[in-house]
Amino acid sequence: MYRDRRLNLSIVNLLKAIMIILAIFMLIGFGASQTQVVYAQEDQALPTIYHIYLDDDYVGTIDDQSIVTNYIDERVEQVEQDADDGYTYGLKQELMFIPERVFNNQTNHDQILESLDEVIVIEVKATVLALGDQVVGYFANEDMVEQTLFDYKAKYVDEDILEQLEEQDTDEVELETGETKVLDVSLSEEVSLSGEVVAKDQLLSVEDGVELLEKGTLEELIHEVSEGDTLSSIAAAYDLTTETLLDLNDELDEDSLLQLEQELNVTDYVAFADVIVYEEELVEETISYQTEIEESEELYRGESETKQEGQDGEKEVHYAIERVNGEVSERETINEEIVKEAVDEIIVEGTKVIDSRGTGDFVWPAVGGYISSQYGPRWGSFHSGIDIARPSNRDILATDNGTVEKISYDANGYGHYIVINHNNGYKTLYAHLEQVDVSVGQTVPKGSKIGVMGTTGRSTGVHLHFEVSENGTTINPNHVLN
């Protein structure tokens, strides 16, 4: 039992000790909270200073921001007065103030201003023109940017039209026939303007800006080798030297053999933005007539005649047109109206087959005329045919069905002449022709035109020398002519 009492006393003493320790910790915590309240109250009375940074460079501290900003404003104003060039100036660096509360403020205003004077950079406030994600350049003001873009568009659209587009609404378009109207002019890239302070020599004039927009910017491109390409021809195509092309392609040297479809790195000027012109036009266009063919057994194969003359029609077409840098990139028909219908031409073509075998009945080989010289002895020689002169017209006719066997020229005799084989033992010859209207191998019907009478070869005047041969021997044409 004695041991149990001692154990109970030990437990009680342990609990008392724990209670005492907890009480001490609570007192310490309470004291700390009281101390924090005191510090917070004291902190509210501390002065604030400002750490000055220009971009990422530390300049010093100041207890009044206005001292620095006023000083910079005065310096900017002084630079503008001294320059007297019409530009607006500003601080190039980014000015930042970072506050801090301190126990002891020991800032020196004069020293800070001297430090600022050594490091601040004052240059021209510029308007930055960007097209898409490409910076084009820097201009003195927004008006110059607007004028530059206006003049660039005016390379492809008349200035008067651009000015009208700025002043009037073009939603409703009324066009006369033959009239074209511009509805809108835009750039292929979004225009964005921002501000930046830059050196004066970085500023662009309007003329410089337009020239830069026309020239574009250099970009890397890929050229695929095609048949006939050489290093020098590829370089010239992209306005490069061969040395520059080799520098752009490390795997090449002057002795490299190019392979078809091999890809080479090249550079070329790419426009900052294209000028896109949207317009509509109303034009009158011709509707070409169509030709219809009809067959007829009344005409020989190869012969034809016009049954109905064709006449073109007319239509008015309303187009919507898109031009990129002056070239038509898209043309869409909005509406078309037929003003006059076209009349088809009708041609009748013969299907009758020409019999190449003669009938044996010979027709007169000319249109009218008379025999000026007969068959037989003449001037100490033998005249193997008849001469026909003074025709009503100078057409020469095939005297019977047959096949053109020969077309030739004899300078000392027949001149231009034709021989027709009638495939029945007879052949006929037509000489002194001025014009031949058939070809060798052609089948000709009786009475069809084969040429024009003339005076070629050995001839005393315009006439037709006409011969008939039977089984290879000439005979008197008068015996067979009707």
Across all residues in the chain, what is the average pLDDT?
88
| Structure tokens belonging to residue 311 | 């006449």
Q: Specify the higher pLDDT residue, 464 or 172.
A: 464
Residue 35 pLDDT exceeds 70: no
Q: Specify the higher pLDDT residue, 38 or 428.
A: 428
Please return the burial class of 117, using the count of CB atoms within 10 Å of its CB with bins 0-12, 13-18 and 19+.
exposed
Residue 21 pLDDT exceeds 70: no
Q: What is the pLDDT of residue 5?
A: 32
Provide the pLDDT confidence category of residue 24 given band limits of 50, 70 and 90. very low
Q: Say if CB 373 and CB 406 are below 8 A apart.
A: no
| Structure tokens belonging to residue 183 | 């509805």
Provide the pLDDT confidence category of residue 169 given band limits of 50, 70 and 90. low
Q: For residue 363, give Cα distances in angstroms to 157, 375, 441, 478.
A: 73, 17, 21, 11
Q: For residue 1, give Cα distances in angstroms to 8, 11, 224.
A: 11, 16, 108
Closest CA to 334 of 277, 276, 281, 278: 281
Q: What is the pLDDT of residue 54?
A: 96
Percent of all residues in the chain with a pLDDT value above 70, rounded to a whole number: 90
Percent of all residues in the chain with a pLDDT value above 90, rounded to a whole number: 77
Q: Say if CB 275 and CB 156 are below 8 A apart.
A: yes
Residue 286 pLDDT exceeds 70: yes
Residue 4 pLDDT exceeds 90: no
Q: What is the mean pLDDT of residues 341-362?
A: 92
Beta-carbon contacts of residue 135 (< 8 Å; ≥ 6 apart): 128, 129
Q: What is the pTM of this model?
A: 0.58
Residue 392 pLDDT exceeds 90: yes
Q: Specify the higher pLDDT residue, 18 or 208.
A: 208
The span from the CA of 468 to the CA of 474, in Å, is: 6
Q: What is the pLDDT of residue 460?
A: 86
Instruction: Tell me the three-class secondary structure of the chain, residue by residue.
Output: CHHHHHHHHHHHHHHHHHHHHHHHHHHHHHHHHHHHHHHHHHHCCCCEEEEEEECCEEEEEECCHHHHHHHHHHHHHHHHHHHCCCCCEEECCCEEEEEEECCCCCCCHHHHHHHHHHHCCEEEEEEEEEECCEEEEEECCHHHHHHHHHHHHCCCCCHHHHHHHHHCCCCCCCCCCCEEEEEEEEECCCEEEEEEEECHHHECCHHHHHHHHHHCEEEEEEEECCCCCCHHHHHHHCCCCHHHHHHHCCCCCCCCCCCCCCEEEEEEEECCCCEEEEEEEEEEEEECCCEEEEEEEEEECCCEEEEECCECEEEEEEEEEEEECCEEEEEEEEEEEEEECCECEEEEEEEECCCCCCCCCECCCEECCEEEECCEEECCEEECCEEEECCCEEEEECCCCEEEEEEEEECCCCEEEEEEECCCCEEEEEEEEEEECCCCCCEECCCCEEEEEECCCCCCCCEEEEEEEECCEEECHHHCEC
Residue 18 pLDDT exceeds 50: no
Residue 13 pLDDT exceeds 50: no
Q: What is the mean pLDDT of residues 407-432?
A: 96
Radius of gyration of the chain (CA): 53
Q: What is the pLDDT of residue 22?
A: 45
Closest CA to 187 of 219, 152, 215, 217: 152
Q: What is the mean pLDDT of residues 214-219?
A: 84
Q: Specify the higher pLDDT residue, 41 or 223.
A: 223
Q: What is the pLDDT of residues 92-149, one digit of tens each?
A: 999 999 999 998 888 899 999 999 999 999 999 999 999 999 999 999 999 999 999 9
Provide the pLDDT confidence category of residue 238 given band limits of 50, 70 and 90. confident
Provide the pLDDT confidence category of residue 6 given band limits of 50, 70 and 90. very low
Q: What is the pLDDT of residue 25?
A: 44
Q: What is the pLDDT of residue 29?
A: 42
Closest CA to 428 of 380, 370, 388: 388
The span from the CA of 429 to the CA of 206, in Å, is: 84
Provide the pLDDT confidence category of residue 302 given band limits of 50, 70 and 90. confident
Residue 163 pLDDT exceeds 50: yes
Q: What is the pLDDT of residue 258?
A: 93
Q: What is the pLDDT of residue 106?
A: 84
Q: What is the pLDDT of residue 121?
A: 96
Q: What is the mean pLDDT of residues 68-77?
A: 96
Residue 23 pLDDT exceeds 70: no
| Structure tokens belonging to residue 266 | 């090249």
Beta-carbon contacts of residue 434 (< 8 Å; ≥ 6 apart): 394, 416, 451, 452, 453, 454, 455, 456
Q: Which residue has the tokens 């070329």?
A: 268
The span from the CA of 329 to the CA of 470, in Å, is: 73
